[in-house]
C-alpha cells in the first residue's frame, strides 16, 4: 500500500516527480475504491499544507498555481480507480469571473484549492453576466457564490450581480465571496458581499467555515 | 537645489513650465511643485464624456472631444492617454493576447505562444521562432499562406499608422490648447515578463521554473537584446521615458526572482539608462520584499507602485529613485470625497518632501457604473494635489 504521509508530503513540497511516481505505482496496484479515496484524502492534506505555507509567507502565488496543476494531474491519474460514488461533497460553489473581465488565473487557483478541499465547483468561466449566475444558482442550488475579478471595473459588475440576485430572490439563499486584486473591505461593503479575500487559501477557509456552521 | 522652472520664471500651467517640471523630476531635481497626472484610462474618459467605449475606440477621431473634456474637467500636467489599446489592428490580426471584453475594454488574457518543447528552438534563434511559430499562433489571421499573410499585415500596419496619426494629432492639439507637458514614451518589457505574457503564459512559466529552469533563464537571455531594441526605437525626447509594466515578480519565490527575473531585468534597465533614457516602471502588486533590488537600479528610475507601504518605500528608495502611485484607484469608487482627500493628504505628506515624487494613482481608472462619483472624487483629489503639492 502507498505511503500516505509520503504522498501528502510530496504534494505539500510541490515535488511533482515524487507525487507522480507514488500515484502511478498506486494505480498499477489495482486498488479498491475505498483505498483510492484515502489517497485523494492524502493529496488534499498536501494541498492544505500548501495553503498554510502560502498564508505564512513561505509560498507565493506561483506555488499555488503549480499546486493546482499537481491536483489536476493527480485527479486525472486517480480517476479510473476512484469509482463513481466518491465521498460526500463539502458543499457547492458557483464560481465565475464577472462581466467585463477576462482574467481567470486567480479564479482557477481558488477553484483547484476549493476542489481539493472537497467542494463541488460549477465554474462558469470569464466575463459572465449576472443572468448566467442566476441561471446556474437556480439549477444547482449552491451554498456559496464566488465572484472573481482583476480589473477595478469588476467591482461594479460584482455589485450589479448581487443586486440582480436580490431581485431574483436568490440573495439570501447563498453566501457570497468576492476575490481578486481590487477587492477590499470597503469594496465588499459597497458590493454587498458576505466576505472578500485576495488569497485563495483564505477564501477556501472562509467557505469551509460557512458550510460547517 | 531648486527647479530650473523657478529659475527661468516659467509658469506652472504653461506647456514649457509643465515640461520643465518633468525635466527636473527625471533629473532628480526638486521641481517647482509635485507634477501630477490624471490617471484616467481612455475608456474611463470616454464614459465620462457620455459615449460608448467600443464605438469611440473604433472611431478614434471621436477621442478629440473625449480627451478635450477630460483636460477641461481634470487638472493634469500631461495628456490623459496612458496605455491605450486600439482594437482596429488587433482585430485585423486576429489577436489572442489582446482582445475586447463584453464591456468594450481591451484586455490581455492568458495565452500560450510557445510550447514547452519549443524552448530550444526559441533560445537558438528567437527572431525566427517569433516570426515562424509564435506570431501565427498569437495573431491568428497571420496563420495563413504567405500572400494572404502579407496583405493582412499590410492592412494591420495601415490601420495602426492611421490610428496613431489621429492620436498623435489629438495629443498635439491638447498639449497646445491646455499648456501640458509633452512627454514621449515607448514601451518594452522585462524579459521574464515577456516570456510569461506572450510565450508561455502565467501558468506555463510557473511549471517551467520547476521542470526546465535552465531553459527559462536561457530564454530570458535570448530575448533581452530584442527587448532593448524595442525600447530604443523610435527615439524618445527629453523629457520622455521607456515604460516597463512589471508583472511576474510578486508571484515568484524570492530565490526564483533572484535567479530568473532580476538579472535580465536589471541588464535591460541599465542598457536604457546607459543610452541616456529615463526608465519608468509600473511596479505591479506588492514588491516590498524586493526593495533592496529596486534600490540597485540606476539612479532616478521612476517607480509607480501599486501596493505596499509608502513610508517604508520613501525611506528605502526616496533619495535615489522617483516614486509614484500608491493612491488606490478603487477608493474613488468606494470612498467619500473626504476619505479621498485624506488619502491624498497622507500620501503628499509622506512622498512629496524633498522631491522625486510624481502624483499618479496606483493604476489607471477603468470605466465603471458610477462614473459621476469617481469623476467628482478624482476632480477633488487632483485639485487638492495641485493646490498643496507646492515646494
Q: Which of A102, A181, A190 lies at the smallest CB-CB distance from B334?
A: A190
pLDDT digit string, tens, across residues A105-117? 889 989 988 988 8
Residue B135 lies in a domain: no
Whole-angstrom Cα distance, residue B66 to residue B47?
9
pLDDT at position B1 over 50: no
The answer, yes or no, to whether residue B292 has pLDDT greater than 50, is yes
Residue at B366 is within a domain: yes
Closest partner residue to A100 (CB to CB) among B102, B251, B335 is B102
Query: For residues A196 and B268, what is the distance between their CA atoms, to the nearest angstrom?
Result: 38
Cα B334 to Cα A187: distance, rounded to the nearest angstrom: 6
Chains A, B: CB contacts within 8 A come to: 91
Torsion of CA A7, A91, A204, A80, to 10 degrees: 30
Query: CA of B376, closest CA in chain A: separation in Å?
Result: 17
Q: Is B143 inside any structural domain?
A: no
Report the CATH number that the domain containing residue B29 is assigned in CATH: 3.20.20.210
Q: What is the DSSP letter of B367?
A: P
Whether B300 is covered by a domain: the verdict is: yes
Residue A6 pLDDT exceeds 80: yes
- The answer to whether A63 contacts B105, with C-beta atoms less than 8 Å apart, is no
Is the pLDDT higher at A150 or at B215? B215
Candidates B101, B206, B334; nearest CB to A127:
B101
User: Is there a domain that residue B20 lies in?
Assistant: yes
Q: State how far the Cα of A108 lies from the Cα of A100, in Å rounded to an integer.
A: 17
User: What is the tally of structural domains in chain B?
Assistant: 1
CA nearest B372: which of B152, B121, B151, B49?
B49
Asked if the structure places residue B56 within a domain, the reply is no
What is the C-alpha separation between A113 and A48, in angstroms, rounded?
8
Q: What confidence tens digit (pLDDT) does each residue in A147-161 have? A: 999 888 899 999 999
DSSP notation for A114-164: HHHTTEEEEE--SSB-HHHHHHHHHHH--SEEEEE-SSTHHHHHHHHHHHH
Tell me phi and psi for residue A195, to 5 degrees: -155, 160
Q: Residue B32: which residues within 8 A CB-CB, separation 6 or more? A: B2, B3, B5, B6, B10, B12, B17, B20, B21, B24, B390, B391
Confidence of residue B106 (pLDDT cuts 50, 70, 90): confident
* Number of residues that make up chain A: 213
End-to-end Cα separation, chain A, in angstroms: 36
Q: Are A200 and A148 in contact (CB under 8 A)?
A: no
Q: Please give the ipTM for the structure prediction.
A: 0.87
Region B231-255 average pLDDT: 91
Which residue does chain B place closest to A184, by CA atoms? B330
Percentage of chain B lying above the pLDDT 70 cut: 97
Say which of B206, B253, B366 has its CB closest to residue A152. B366
The confidence score (pLDDT) of residue B10 equals 62
- CA-based nearest distance B45→chain A, Å: 14
State what percent of residues in chain A have pLDDT above 90. Answer: 67
Distance (Å) from the alpha carbon of B296 to chain A's nearest alpha carbon: 23
* pLDDT tens digits along B142-161: 999 999 999 999 999 999 99
Kindly state whether residue B252 falls inside one of the protein's structural domains: yes
pLDDT at B5: 53
A128 vs B84, more confident: A128
Domain membership of residue B256 as a residue range: 10-38+74-79+180-188+231-388
- Enumerate residues 6 to 35 of chain A having a beta carbon within 8 A of any beta carbon in chain B: 14, 16
B168 in any annotated domain? no
Asked if A210 is an interface residue toward chain B (Cβ–Cβ < 8 A), one would say no
Amino acid at each position: 500500500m502507498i505511503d500516505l504521509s509520503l504522498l501528502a508530503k510530496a504534494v505539500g513540497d510541490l515535488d511533482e516527480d515524487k507525487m507522480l511516481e507514488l500515484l502511478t505505482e498506486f494505480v498499477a496496484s489495482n486498488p479498491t475504491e475505498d483505498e483510492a479515496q484515502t489517497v485523494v484524502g492524502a493529496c488534499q492534506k498536501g494541498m492544505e499544507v500548501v495553503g498554510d505555507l502560502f498564508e505564512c509567507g513561505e509560498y507565493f502565488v506561483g506555488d499555488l498555481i503549480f499546486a493546482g496543476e499537481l491536483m489536476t494531474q493527480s485527479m486525472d491519474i486517480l480517476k479510473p480507480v476512484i469509482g463513481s460514488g466518491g465521498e460526500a461533497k463539502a458543499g457547492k460553489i458557483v464560481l465565475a469571473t464577472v462581466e467585463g473581465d477576462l482574467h481567470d488565473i486567480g479564479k482557477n487557483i481558488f477553484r483547484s484549492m476549493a476542489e481539493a478541499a472537497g467542494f463541488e465547483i460549477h465554474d462558469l468561466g470569464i466575463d459572465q453576466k449576472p443572468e448566467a449566475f442566476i441561471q446556474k444558482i437556480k439549477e444547482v442550488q449552491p451554498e456559496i457564490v464566488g465572484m472573481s475579478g482583476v480589473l477595478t471595473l469588476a467591482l461594479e459588475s460584482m455589485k450589479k450581480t448581487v443586486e440582480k440576485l436580490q431581485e431574483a430572490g436568490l440573495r439570501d439563499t447563498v453566501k457570497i465571496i468576492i476575490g481578486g486584486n481590487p477587492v477590499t473591505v470597503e469594496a465588499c461593503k459597497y458590493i454587498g458581499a458576505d466576505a472578500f479575500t485576495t488569497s485563495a487559501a483564505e477564501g477556501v477557509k472562509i467557505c469551509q467555515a460557512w458550510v460547517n456552521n | 537645489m531648486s527647479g530650473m522652472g523657478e529659475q527661468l520664471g516659467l509658469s506652472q500651467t504653461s506647456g514649457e513650465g509643465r515640461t520643465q517640471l518633468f525635466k527636473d523630476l527625471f533629473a532628480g531635481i526638486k521641481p517647482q511643485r509635485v507634477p501630477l497626472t490624471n490617471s484616467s484610462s481612455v475608456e474611463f474618459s470616454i464614459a465620462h464624456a457620455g459615449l460608448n467605449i467600443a464605438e469611440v475606440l473604433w472611431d478614434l477621431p471621436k477621442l478629440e472631444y473625449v480627451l478635450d473634456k477630460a483636460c477641461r474637467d481634470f487638472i493634469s500636467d500631461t495628456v490623459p492617454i496612458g496605455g491605450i489599446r486600439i482594437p482596429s489592428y488587433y482585430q485585423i490580426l486576429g489577436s489572442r493576447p489582446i482582445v475586447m471584453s463584453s464591456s468594450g475594454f481591451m484586455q490581455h488574457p492568458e495565452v500560450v505562444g510557445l510550447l514547452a518543447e519549443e524552448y530550444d528552438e526559441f533560445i537558438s534563434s528567437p527572431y525566427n521562432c517569433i516570426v515562424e511559430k509564435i506570431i501565427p499562433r498569437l495573431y491568428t489571421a497571420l496563420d495563413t499562406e504567405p500572400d494572404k499573410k502579407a496583405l493582412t499585415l499590410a492592412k494591420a500596419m495601415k490601420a495602426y499608422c492611421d490610428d496613431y496619426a489621429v492620436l498623435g494629432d489629438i495629443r498635439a492639439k491638447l498639449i497646445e490648447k491646455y499648456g501640458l507637458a509633452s512627454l514621449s514614451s515607448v514601451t518594452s518589457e522585462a524579459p521574464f515578463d515577456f516570456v510569461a505574457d506572450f510565450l508561455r503564459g502565467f501558468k506555463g512559466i510557473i511549471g517551467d521554473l520547476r521542470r526546465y529552469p535552465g531553459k527559462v533563464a536561457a530564454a530570458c537571455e535570448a530575448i533581452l537584446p530584442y527587448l532593448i531594441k524595442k525600447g530604443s526605437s523610435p527615439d524618445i525626447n527629453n523629457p520622455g521615458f521607456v515604460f516597463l509594466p512589471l508583472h511576474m515578480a510578486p508571484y515568484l519565490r524570492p530565490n526564483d526572482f533572484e535567479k530568473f527575473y532580476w538579472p535580465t531585468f536589471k541588464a535591460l534597465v541599465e542598457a536604457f539608462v546607459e543610452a541616456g533614457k529615463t526608465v519608468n516602471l509600473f511596479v505591479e502588486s506588492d514588491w516590498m520584499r524586493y526593495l533592496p533590488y529596486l534600490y540597485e537600479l540606476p539612479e532616478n528610475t521612476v517607480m509607480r507602485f501599486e501596493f505596499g507601504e509608502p513610508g517604508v518605500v520613501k525611506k528605502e528608495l526616496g533619495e535615489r529613485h522617483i516614486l509614484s502611485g500608491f493612491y488606490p484607484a478603487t477608493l474613488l469608487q468606494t470612498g467619500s470625497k473626504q476619505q479621498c482627500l485624506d488619502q491624498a493628504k497622507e500620501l503628499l505628506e509622506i512622498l512629496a518632501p524633498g522631491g522625486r515624487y510624481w502624483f499618479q494613482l496606483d493604476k489607471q481608472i477603468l470605466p465603471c457604473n458610477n462614473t459621476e462619483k469617481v469623476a467628482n472624487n478624482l476632480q477633488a483629489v487632483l485639485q487638492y494635489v495641485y493646490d498643496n503639492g507646492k515646494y
